[in-house]
Amino acid sequence: MIILDVLTQYGTRSLDRTFSYLYNGKKKVEPRFRVRIDFAGHPAMGFVLAVHPTSQTPPELEKENGYAFKEITEDDIIDEEPLINDHLMLLASQVADYYFAPLISVLQAMLPQSLSPRLSSLHGPKVAYEKWVALLDASEEGLTDKQIEMLRLVAKNSPILKKEAGSASILEKLIEARKVRILLQEKMRFQIPPEELDVPHEMTLDQQAAYEAILESPKEVILLQGVTGSGKTEVYLHLSDKFLSDGKTVLMLVPEINLTPAMVEYFSRRFGPKVAILHSGLTPGERYDEYRRIANGKAQIVVGARSAVFAPLSNIGLIILDEEHVESYKQDNSPYYHAREVAIMRGKDEGAKVLLGSATPSLETKARASRGVYGYAELKHRINEKALPHTQIIDLTDRSNFSKKSEKLSQPLLLKIQEKLDKKEQVMLLINRRGYWTGVNCPNCGYIFTCPSCGGNLTYHQDDQMLKCHHCGFVERFPAQCPNCGATNLRRVGYGTERVVKEVQDLFPSSRIARLDSDIGQISRNVELTLRAFQNGEYDILVGTQMIAKGHDFPNVTLSGVVLADIGLSLPTYRASERTFELIAQAVGRSGRSQKEGEALIQTYNPSHYAIVYGARQDFEGFYAREMQERKITQYPPYVYLILLEFGSANETKCVQASYDFKKEIESQDFEAVTVVGPLTPYYALTNGRHKRILLLKFKNRDLIAGYLKNLLSKYSSRGSVDISINVDPLDY
Binding footprint of Zn ion on the chain (CB under 5 A): 451, 453-454, 456, 469, 471-472, 474
Give the one entry of ligand ADP, Zn ion, none that residue 454 binds, where binding means its C-beta sits below a cut-off of 5 to 8 angstroms depending on kind: Zn ion
Work out the angle at residue 46's Cα, subtended by the Cα atoms of residues 42 and 47, and round it to the nearest 5 degrees: 170
Q: Does 207 bind ligand ADP (CB under 6 A)?
A: yes
Q: Does 49 bind ligand ADP (CB under 6 A)?
A: no
Task: State the minimum distance, in angstroms, from the CB of residue 450 to Zn ion.
Answer: 8
Work out whether strand 641-649 and strand 690-699 pair parallel, antiparallel, or are unpaired. antiparallel
Give the one entry of ligand ADP, Zn ion, none that residue 230 binds, where binding means its C-beta sits below a cut-off of 5 to 8 angstroms depending on kind: ligand ADP
Q: Does 312 bind ligand ADP (CB under 6 A)?
A: no
Task: State the minimum distance, in angstroms, from the CB of residue 194 to ligand ADP.
Answer: 21
Give the one entry of ligand ADP, Zn ion, none that residue 474 binds, where binding means its C-beta sits below a cut-off of 5 to 8 angstroms depending on kind: Zn ion
Task: State the maximum Cα–Cα separation within the chain, in Å, rounded to a whole number.
Answer: 91
DSSP state of 645: E
Q: How far is CA 478 from CA 148, 444, 488, in A?
A: 12, 18, 12
Q: Does 240 bind ligand ADP (CB under 6 A)?
A: no
Give the one entry of Zn ion, ligand ADP, none that residue 229 binds, where binding means its C-beta sits below a cut-off of 5 to 8 angstroms depending on kind: ligand ADP
- Residue from 228, 268, 432, 591 that binds ligand ADP (CB under 6 A)? 228
- How far apart (Å, rounded) are the C-alpha atoms in residues 499 and 496? 6
Burial 412-425 (b: 16+ CB within 10 A, else e): ebbebbeebbeeeb
Interaction residues for ligand ADP, span 371-430 (CB under 6 A):
383
In the bound state with ligand ADP, the residue whose beta carbon lies nearer, of 385 and 672, is 385
Cα dihedral sign for 255, 256, 262, 267?
positive
In the bound state with ligand ADP, the residue whose beta carbon lies nearer, of 226 and 544, is 226
In the bound state with ligand ADP, the residue whose beta carbon lies nearer, of 228 and 426, is 228
Give the one entry of ligand ADP, Zn ion, none that residue 105 binds, where binding means its C-beta sits below a cut-off of 5 to 8 angstroms depending on kind: none
Give the one entry of ligand ADP, Zn ion, none that residue 232 binds, where binding means its C-beta sits below a cut-off of 5 to 8 angstroms depending on kind: ligand ADP
Q: Does 304 bind ligand ADP (CB under 6 A)?
A: no
Work out the angle at residue 105's Cα, subtended by the Cα atoms of residues 44 and 126, and round it to the nearest 5 degrees: 60
Task: State the minimum distance, in angstroms, from the CB of residue 255 to ligand ADP.
Answer: 13
DSSP state of 389: P
Give the one entry of Zn ion, ligand ADP, none that residue 226 binds, where binding means its C-beta sits below a cut-off of 5 to 8 angstroms depending on kind: ligand ADP
DSSP state of 400: G
CB 48 within 8 A of CB 31: yes
Rounded to 10 deg, the angle between the 702-717 and 652-668 helix axes is 140
Q: How far is CA 356 from CA 226, 474, 529, in A?
A: 11, 38, 30
Give the one entry of Zn ion, ligand ADP, none that residue 234 binds, where binding means its C-beta sits below a cut-off of 5 to 8 angstroms depending on kind: ligand ADP
Task: State the minimum distance, in angstroms, from the CB of residue 490 to Zn ion.
Answer: 20
- How far apart (Å, rounded) are the C-alpha atoms in residues 130 and 719? 42
**Where does this chain touch ligand ADP (CB under 6 A) — which range of 96-104, 135-143, 201-209, 394-402?**
201-209
- How far apart (Å, rounded) are the C-alpha atoms in residues 322 and 340? 10
Q: Does 175 bind ligand ADP (CB under 6 A)?
A: no
Give the one entry of ligand ADP, Zn ion, none that residue 204 binds, where binding means its C-beta sits below a cut-off of 5 to 8 angstroms depending on kind: ligand ADP
Task: State the minimum distance, in angstroms, from the CB of residue 579 to ligand ADP.
Answer: 19
Q: Does 553 bind ligand ADP (CB under 6 A)?
A: yes
Q: How far is CA 203 from CA 23, 208, 228, 253, 271, in A?
A: 59, 6, 16, 22, 17
Interaction residues for ligand ADP, span 489-528 (CB under 6 A):
none
Tell me which amino acid residue 29 is: V
Q: Does 618 bind ligand ADP (CB under 6 A)?
A: no
Q: Does 226 bind ligand ADP (CB under 6 A)?
A: yes
- Residue from 201, 298, 423, 715 that binds ligand ADP (CB under 6 A)? 201
Task: State the minimum distance, in angstroms, from the CB of residue 530 to ligand ADP.
Answer: 20
Interaction residues for ligand ADP, span 597-616 (CB under 6 A):
none
Give the start-end residues of each E strand in 88-161.
129-135, 160-161
**Where does this chain touch ligand ADP (CB under 6 A) — which range of 222-230, 307-315, 340-348, 484-492?**
222-230
Question: If we measure between CA atoms, which residue out of 247, 281, 25 comes closest to residue 128?
Answer: 281
CB 313 within 8 A of CB 249: yes
Beta bridge partners of 330: 338
Question: If we measure between CA atoms, which residue out of 336, 308, 340 comes closest to residue 321?
Answer: 340
Work out the angle at residue 86's Cα, subtended by the Cα atoms of residues 80 and 89, and round it to the nearest 5 degrees: 90
Task: State the minimum distance, in angstroms, from the CB of residue 428 to ligand ADP.
Answer: 15
**Where does this chain touch ligand ADP (CB under 6 A) — which range of 199-207, 478-486, 522-530, 608-616?**
199-207
Task: State the minimum distance, in angstroms, from the CB of residue 224 to ligand ADP.
Answer: 9
Q: Does 255 bind ligand ADP (CB under 6 A)?
A: no
**Where does this chain touch ligand ADP (CB under 6 A) — which range of 98-106, 188-196, 198-206, 521-529?**
198-206
Three-state secondary structure call for residue 316: strand
Tell me which amino acid residue 175 is: I
In the bound state with Zn ion, the residue whose beta carbon lies nearer, of 260 and 438, is 438
Q: Does 209 bind ligand ADP (CB under 6 A)?
A: no
Query: How many residues at the interface with ligand ADP, by CB under 6 A?
Result: 15
Task: State the minimum distance, in angstroms, from the CB of residue 471 to Zn ion.
Answer: 5
- How far apart (Å, rounded) are the C-alpha atoms in residues 10 and 247? 39
In the bound state with ligand ADP, the residue whose beta carbon lies nearer, of 232 and 579, is 232
Question: If we measure between CA atoms, which residue out of 285, 425, 348 comes closest to residue 90?
Answer: 348
List CB contacts of 679: < 8 A, sequence separation 6 or more. Answer: 647, 656, 659, 660, 663, 693, 694, 695
DSSP state of 436: S
- Rounded to the nearest angstrom, the gap between the alpha carbon of residue 250 and the centroid of all alpha carbons in its chain is 22
In the bound state with ligand ADP, the residue whose beta carbon lies nearer, of 532 and 700, is 532
Task: State the minimum distance, in angstroms, from the CB of residue 229 to ligand ADP.
Answer: 5
Query: How many Cβ atoms sit within 10 Å of the Cβ of residue 463?
Result: 15
Task: State the minimum distance, in angstroms, from the CB of residue 105 to ligand ADP.
Answer: 34
Give the one entry of ligand ADP, Zn ion, none that residue 233 binds, where binding means its C-beta sits below a cut-off of 5 to 8 angstroms depending on kind: ligand ADP
In the bound state with ligand ADP, the residue whose beta carbon lies nearer, of 171 and 369, is 369
- Residue from 11, 231, 312, 544 that binds ligand ADP (CB under 6 A)? 231
Q: Does 203 bind ligand ADP (CB under 6 A)?
A: yes
Query: Order of strands, edge to edge, in the sheet holding 513-516?
Result: 390-395, 599-604, 557-562, 426-430, 541-544, 513-516
Task: State the minimum distance, in angstroms, from the CB of residue 293 to Zn ion.
Answer: 42
Residues engaged in binding ligand ADP (CB under 6 A): 201-204, 207, 226, 228-234, 383, 553
